[in-house]
Amino acid sequence: MRLVRIVPFYLFTFLLLVSCGNLKKQTTDESVSMQPIGPAFCADSAYQYCQAQCDFGPRTMNSQAHDDCEAWIISKFKSFGMTVLPQKAVLKGYDGTPLHSTNIIASYRPEQKDRILLCAHWDSRPWADNDPDEANWKTPVMAANDGASGVAVMLEVARLLSQDTLKLGVDFICFDTEDWGVPQWEENDYEGDSWALGSQYWAANLHQKGYKARFGILLDMVGGQGAQFYKEAMSVQYASHIVDKVWRAAQVVGYGSFFPGQIGGGVTDDHLPVNTKAKIPTIDIIPHYPNCAQSTFGPTWHTINDDMAHIDKNTLQAVGQTLIQVLFSEK
Ligand code: AHN
Ligand code: ZN
């Protein structure tokens, strides 16, 4: 009699365990290696690339520093063996100002059909319009974080690819003219999207006919102190499987604390035209500071404090090693 009651209990427990095992398998993204894989990302190197861009001064549109930094970024990617294509255009700012714009497209293994896209903007915002002191609102931003950091992380990944082997092709696109959006002090209403003009241009004028990539990852402000990369809402909407892949990779390499599982806000950024117009599923790695009074993008966003003193190598390391894990896990 007793056995009749006990056997079904064990059977039930056994079935429960088996089904949990299956559940776990379903939620594990097998496209990411469960062990750290690929070369060690060097944050000191990325930090230097960030510094080198800032040494030109703010890289605002139509400035000498912008053109000098453009030549520097191109020469760095070339020095890592990448094929570089500058895509030039004169774009119109919200107030009609002609903006001499260059998207810099650097390609690793350009002959390979299977590709991954990494991108970041490289221009500096011409106005620190979110500075707490109104006297600074028309001062250009150094953009150590909001500009240079993303390019710096891409350059370090490119350097590592030049020393290691990855079967896949990788495109690094440095978008220009992301940060010419209508300033907060502007009182008139302006029509149209004034942000992300360079990526809008690229998505409408692909550097190669029919260009495709498996997926894209945008890096925006990936070097700030205290940064945490919540899941950005538009990324979840357009490319949730890539969000899952990247967040899992961060856990595997030990930087899960930089990538909380919660969703942050949705952001108008370079990934939108890449998703909607170029139709490449692309996520945005962008910080979210739920408790920061100055901005949810962090205390230095569009202020005169976005400089090298507020860059943290640990943040660069967390993002860079996560990207390496994603790239080297791809089959
Ligand atoms: C807006 O403020 C509408 N979008 C933020 C995009 C951005 C600006 N990222 C860096 N700078
Ligand atoms: Zn900005």
pLDDT tens-digit series, residues 206-243: 999 999 999 999 999 999 999 999 999 999 999 999 99
* Residue 196 alpha carbon to ligand 2 centre in Å: 10
Percent of the chain with pLDDT over 90: 89
**Protein residue whose Cα sits closest to atom 1 of ligand 1:** 268
Lowest mean pLDDT among 19-33, 92-106, 246-260: 19-33
Q: How confident is the model at residue 97 (pLDDT cuts 50, 70, 90)?
A: very high
Q: How confident is the model at residue 18 (pLDDT cuts 50, 70, 90)?
A: very low
DSSP, residue by residue, 223-254 = SBTT---PBPHHHHHHHHHHHHHHHHHHHHTT
From the alpha carbon of 268, which atom of ligand 1 is closest?
4
pTM: 0.92
Q: What is the topology classification, in CATH, of domain 4-183+191-329?
A: Aminopeptidase (3.40.630)
Is 80 exceeded by the pLDDT of residue 12?
no
Q: What is the chain's Cα-based Rg?
A: 22
Q: Is the separation of the CB atoms in 194 and 140 below 8 Å?
A: no
Ligand nearest the Cα atom of residue 184: 1
Is 90 exceeded by the pLDDT of residue 147?
yes
Q: Is the separation of the CB atoms in 270 and 174 below 8 Å?
A: no
Decide the pairing of beta strands 169-175 and 282-285.
unpaired
How many Cβ atoms are within 10 Å of 281's Cβ, its own excluded?
19
Classified as helix, coil or strand, 219 is strand
Is 50 exceeded by the pLDDT of residue 3?
no
Query: What pLDDT shows up at residue 292?
Result: 98
Say yes or no: CB of residue 244 within 6 Å of ligand 1.
no
Fill in the amino acid letter for 237: Q
Percent of the chain with pLDDT over 70: 91
From the alpha carbon of 269, which atom of ligand 1 is closest?
6
**Protein residue whose Cα sits closest to atom 7 of ligand 1:** 269
* Residue 286 alpha carbon to ligand 1 centre in Å: 10
* Residue 84 alpha carbon to ligand 2 centre in Å: 25
H helix intervals, 139-232: 149-161, 197-204
Which of 119, 229, 297, 300 to mutate for ligand 1's pocket (most ligand atoms within 8 Å of CB)?
Answer: 297
> What are phi and psi for residue 231, nearest 5 degrees?
-70, 120
Which of 94, 199, 220 to mutate for ligand 1's pocket (most ligand atoms within 8 Å of CB)?
Answer: 220
Please identify which residue in the block is written with the tokens 């006990």. Answer: 6
Work out the widest C-alpha separation in the chain, in whole angstroms.
Answer: 90
Say yes or no: CB of residue 220 within 6 Å of ligand 1.
yes
Q: Is the separation of the CB atoms in 175 and 154 below 8 Å?
A: no
**Protein residue whose Cα sits closest to atom 3 of ligand 1:** 268
Which of 235, 267, 285, 296 to mutate for ligand 1's pocket (most ligand atoms within 8 Å of CB)?
Answer: 267
Decide the pairing of beta strands 98-108 and 83-92.
antiparallel
* Residue 302 alpha carbon to ligand 2 centre in Å: 6
Nearest-5° angle of CA 276, CA 277, CA 278?
105
Q: pLDDT tens across 101-131, in order? A: 999 999 999 999 999 999 999 999 999 999 9
